[in-house]
Amino acid sequence: MGNSDGGGCVGLVIIIGVVAYIIELLVKLLSKVFVAAISIVGILLLAMCLVGAVIGVFYAFKSFFAAVMEVSDDRKALFSKPQYTRLTLPRTADGKFEFYEDISRASYFNGGMLKDIGSILKKTFSNSVKRLRIFGSNISDSSGLFGKTFSIIKNVFSIISLLVFGMVVSAVLSVMIVVSSVIILIFYRIFFFAVLSAEKASFSAKKITNRCDFCKAEYDLPVYFCPKCGIPHRYLRPSKFGIFYRTCVCLEKLPVTAGGKCADGKKRSQLTAACPKCGKSDRSSETRPLGIPLIGGVNAGKTTFKTAFLYSFLNDEATKLGLTIKLNDKAMENEFEEIRSCFIGKRMVTETRPGKEYDVTSFNFVIEHEKLSVPRLMHIYDMPGEVFEQSNAQESLKHFTFSEGVIFVIDPYTLQSIISSESDLGGMRVGKMDFNTLVEVFCETLEKLPNMPREGKKYAIPVAICINKVDTPSLRNRIGMPAARKLMNAKPEVYSDSYDTMDMLCREFLSANGKSNAVTLLDQNFKYVHFFACSATGSIPKGPVRFVPEQVLAAVYWITARSDSQLAPLLGTDVPHDIDESTRKRLSQNRSDYFEIIENSLVH
């Protein structure tokens, strides 16, 4: 009995051990199977994520590039055709073309780029939404249990992939393109301002401005006209329409910097241009202007002086000095031919008369030389004497505010002592208005002009007082170069410069003839005053005769040289200079020499 009970217990233990062992084996097996299953599921999920990512990224890029191509095609279509043709160009109420700046679209980097970015982002989102709808419609289109099940799994998976991965990629692409665009626009703006600043700095350093021959206005840039459609461009410089070039409404590319060229090789300065104030033709062509008005009373000889200077300088002196002279158009060429006819004695000089629209005439020419950074455009303004005496020019005399200097031509025969000493004046017309009065009129005229430059309390504009018609030996020996040389020979320690000496002689001559008030008034109101004696014809004209001018270049050279340091050394050595204070003081202390050496010798 006992043995059988002991054997039964042992058997039970063995059975339990076997069962436990089997359970342990099953647990281990199930653990391995579970781990394997988990791994397989993880791998499957990872694969699904990768596939989903690929699907999402693919459709995101597809939507993005489709949007880019669509926007690009729209932009190409927009820029490939002109905004207007010549026949459809908008016009103002008076029939003139509208300005380009008022009707044209800005360049791509000034509005178009940001607009395209917005369009790309919108179209990318729109394309993604369309793709989601396609996936949704594919589910309902399938048939059969297996097909339906597979379609649901595939399309739902694609929808989830596009929503999760596609939208993330789209968002990243959107951020990247926005950030890149902002960076590009920042650098574009910096580059734009650098180019514009360089253009303006170059113009400022070279003193390039434009001056209208007609209304006498000064301005930075003229209105340029497109050579293809004729539309006016008000501001042909780097702007929102382009940095180096701008595309006209007719698709013609126009340069917006001095160095740029059109398709036909023309520079900006060679385009047809007009004054922005009055609309008349502009001849400046990006040059540095030199303006010198000739003023004086009726019959002072201003036009004769102008004729003598222009022919002497343009025909003779410029060639000797190695300067290249160009006349801008046929009108200037025709006028110079008239000047030539007068100079060589074919006909008499006709006096300048007030015009219908403008009173002040202008003769201009271009001076070129390899040592000049930019060509010079010299304007010689001629104002009718009656206009000056009455101070009522239609142009308001505003060209005085920017002129480099004024040549004040006076007639010595308005002095009673001079006209009474000459018995034969031939056909020479003589001025009537007193010099004292003329100077007062001049000062009153400038007082009315706004923005007249000053240095301290005095006007900064240089004034050359030219005593004209020094045609007789009597006048030459009083104030001309023979008189100056006489003083220089008599007192070389005092009189070392012929033009300084001439200045003193002219001052004393006028003072001795009752015009000291005018001399004093000039010195009180103007910082720079220089007196000259000259003869435009070389003799008292008794009819058409060839000019033999004396000292007509001096006054123009003095004004030109003191205002243009590059041109000054190219004018030769016989150029007057400003009289310094020590020299003026020395000459003033010896003013009695005029009477003791000059006048006394003439009396005896």
3-class secondary structure, 363: strand
Give residue 255's pLDDT: 96
| pLDDT tens figures, 191-223 | 999 999 999 999 999 999 999 988 888 999 999
Note whether residue 1 is domain-resident.
Answer: no
Shared domain for 332 and 188, answered yes or no, is: no
Give residue 145's pLDDT: 66
Backbone angles phi, psi at 175, to 5 degrees: -65, -45
Give residue 494's pLDDT: 95
Shared domain for 269 and 303, answered yes or no, is: no
Q: Is pLDDT larger for residue 116 or for residue 296?
A: 296
Confidence label for 153 from pLDDT (cuts 50, 70 and 90): low
Q: Is residue 157 pLDDT above 80, yes or no? A: no
Note whether residue 602 is domain-resident.
Answer: no
Q: Report the alpha-carbon distance of residue 246 to residue 267 in Å, rounded.
A: 13
Q: Is pLDDT larger for residue 421 or for residue 530?
A: 530
The amino acid present at 440, given as its one-letter code, is: E
- Structural domain boundaries enclosing 322: 288-571
Note whether residue 436 is domain-resident.
Answer: yes
H or E stretch at 225: strand 223-225
Give residue 67's pLDDT: 79
Supply the mean pLDDT for the chain: 86
Ordered strands of the 232-233 beta sheet = 232-233, 223-225, 273-274
Buried b (16+ CB within 10 A) or exposed e, 150-161: ebeeebeebbbb
Specify the CATH number for the domain of residue 363.
3.40.50.300
Q: Is residue 527 pLDDT above 90, yes or no? A: yes
Shared domain for 323 and 221, answered yes or no, is: no
Q: Is residue 147 pLDDT above 80, yes or no? A: no
Buried b (16+ CB within 10 A) or exposed e, 344-382: eeeeebebbeeeeebbbbbbbbbbeeeebebbbbbbbbb
Task: Give which of 405, 328, 326 is closest to 369, Cα–Cα.
Answer: 326
pLDDT, mean of residues 265-283: 91
Shared domain for 512 and 422, answered yes or no, is: yes
Confidence label for 491 from pLDDT (cuts 50, 70 and 90): very high
Confidence label for 36 from pLDDT (cuts 50, 70 and 90): confident
Domain boundary pick from 242, 257, 284: 284
Query: Crossing angle, helix 481-490 and helix 498-512, to 10 degrees?
Result: 110
Note whether residue 77 is domain-resident.
Answer: yes
Note whether residue 21 is domain-resident.
Answer: no
Could you give the angle at the alpha carbon of 602 between the alpha carbons of 597 and 603, nearest 5°?
Answer: 105
Note whether residue 477 is domain-resident.
Answer: yes
Count other C-beta atoms under 10 Å from residue 179's C-beta.
10
Q: Is residue 279 pLDDT above 60, yes or no? A: yes
Q: Structural domain tally of the chain?
A: 2
Shared domain for 265 and 305, answered yes or no, is: no
Task: Give which of 406, 133, 107 is closest to 256, Cα–Cα.
Answer: 107
H or E stretch at 409: strand 406-410
Considering the chain, what percentage of its residues have pLDDT values greater than 70?
87
Q: Report the alpha-carbon distance of residue 116 to residue 71 in Å, rounded.
A: 7
Q: Is pLDDT larger for residue 183 or for residue 81?
A: 183
| pLDDT tens figures, 369-406 | 999 999 999 999 998 888 787 766 555 678 888 999 99
Shared domain for 297 and 380, answered yes or no, is: yes
Shared domain for 344 and 210, answered yes or no, is: no
Confidence label for 107 from pLDDT (cuts 50, 70 and 90): confident
Shared domain for 277 and 326, answered yes or no, is: no
Q: The tokens of 598 are what?
A: 């000059």
Shared domain for 292 and 246, answered yes or no, is: no
The answer to whether the CB of 503 falls within 8 A of the CB of 594 is: no
Q: Is pLDDT larger for residue 124 or for residue 150?
A: 124
Q: Report the alpha-carbon distance of residue 583 to residue 289 in Å, rounded.
A: 31
The answer to whether the CB of 481 falls within 8 A of the CB of 547 is: no
Shared domain for 75 and 187, answered yes or no, is: yes
Which residues, other chains included, contact 313 with Cβ-Cβ below 8 Å and sequence gap of 6+?
Answer: 553, 556
Note whether residue 423 is domain-resident.
Answer: yes
Chain mean position to CA 538: 44
The amino acid present at 6, given as its one-letter code, is: G
Query: Crossing angle, helix 498-512 and helix 581-589, to 10 degrees?
Result: 50
pLDDT, mean of residues 142-165: 66
Domain boundary pick from 219, 251, 284: 284
Note whether residue 586 is domain-resident.
Answer: no
Shared domain for 158 and 292, answered yes or no, is: no
Domain boundary pick from 265, 284, 303: 284
Shared domain for 192 and 296, answered yes or no, is: no
